[in-house]
Amino acid sequence: MSVKILAVGDIVAPRGLDYLSKHLKKLIKTTGAAFTVVNGENASQLGITPDQAEDIFAAGADVITLGNHSFNRREIFDYLDDSAYILRPANFAPQCPGRGMGVYDASFGQVKVINLIGRCNMDYGPDNPFLMVDKLLKDEPCTVTLVDFHAETSSEKLAMGYMLDGRVSAVWGTHTHVQTSDAGVLPNGTGYISDLGMTGPAVSVLGIKPEQSIAMFRGEPKSRFTAADGPCKLECCVFEIDPKTGLCLSAEAMRIEG
């Protein structure tokens, strides 16, 4: 008997969090998801607070993953150390707060979740995620293993997907906030999508007011980014997995709007 895993794209700003809170539980019921992972690194627009993390869990998430804005809000530091259910990228420096991998109990057995960050076009140099994931897969082996790869370029994400094909249940990309059309199962049985998309303002540039992004690219003086107004959306992917083999049977990208 197969199980469904729901992976939800980056929450952007409090408006995205509000939208998640209104729709996630219904989406979990509709899809029949037995385990839900939500990327929450932009819940504060840049970063996440403990209260926002609690709101994401209350909305229905089993695990929260993060990314390059993991540490933008310093009040999250102790929370990252104290809670095993929120992950920051495992290839950050080891002295950083929190952890990058967890093994969790689910209705179908145990599931391992790994959070990684890419290095292409990022503003800093984390450890090599391709070498780090090899190490993490050897620690506490688990039949069902999920990987959130928070990365900028599709080439780096695809390379990770193919390297892990047949070794993990699903690999999904986050960070670029635009849902890609390549959801599917790789040749050796790993579910994959280059980017889940985002949860937040639909008429926007990655969740931000379009005019602000346009001004930045025109070279005008920078202003503090503000979340766009108007309707919101929730973008995600549902992976159907055989819990006995850990292999993916299907992957379907989804979007809720309005």
In tens, the pLDDT along 75-133 reads 999 999 999 999 999 999 999 999 999 999 999 999 999 999 999 987 667 899 999 99
pTM of the complete model beyond 0.75: yes
pLDDT band at 210 (very low <50, low <70, confident <90, very high): confident
Q: Is 23 a catalytic residue?
A: no
Please say whether the beta carbons of 193 and 182 come within 8 A: yes
Average predicted confidence (pLDDT) for the chain: 95
pLDDT of residue 228: 86
pLDDT band at 224 (very low <50, low <70, confident <90, very high): confident
pLDDT of residue 223: 79
Give the span between the Cα atoms of 1 and 162, in whole angstroms.
26
One-letter amino acid of 214: I
In tens, the pLDDT along 40-76 reads 999 999 999 999 999 999 999 999 999 999 999 999 9
Give the span between the Cα atoms of 201 and 229, in whole angstroms.
6
pLDDT of residue 126: 87
Domain, as residue range, for 66: 3-257
How many of the other CB atoms lie within 10 Å of CB of 30? 13
In tens, the pLDDT along 132-144 reads 999 999 988 899 9
pLDDT of residue 124: 67
Give the span between the Cα atoms of 118 and 116, in whole angstroms.
7
Nearest alpha-carbon partner for 40 in 3, 19, 69: 69
**What is the number of domains present in the chain?**
1
Contacts within 8 Å (CB) and 24+ apart, 250-254? 250/185, 250/191, 251/170, 251/183, 251/184, 251/185, 251/191, 251/192, 251/193, 252/183, 253/179, 253/180, 253/181, 253/183, 253/193, 253/196, 253/197, 254/27, 254/31
In tens, the pLDDT along 160-178 reads 999 999 999 999 999 999 9
One-letter amino acid of 244: K
Please say whether the beta carbons of 156 and 120 come within 8 A: yes
In tens, the pLDDT along 229-254 reads 999 999 999 999 999 999 999 999 99
DSSP state of 86: E
CATH of the domain at 36: 3.60.21.10
Which candidate in 23, 69, 175, 177 is catalytic?
A: 69
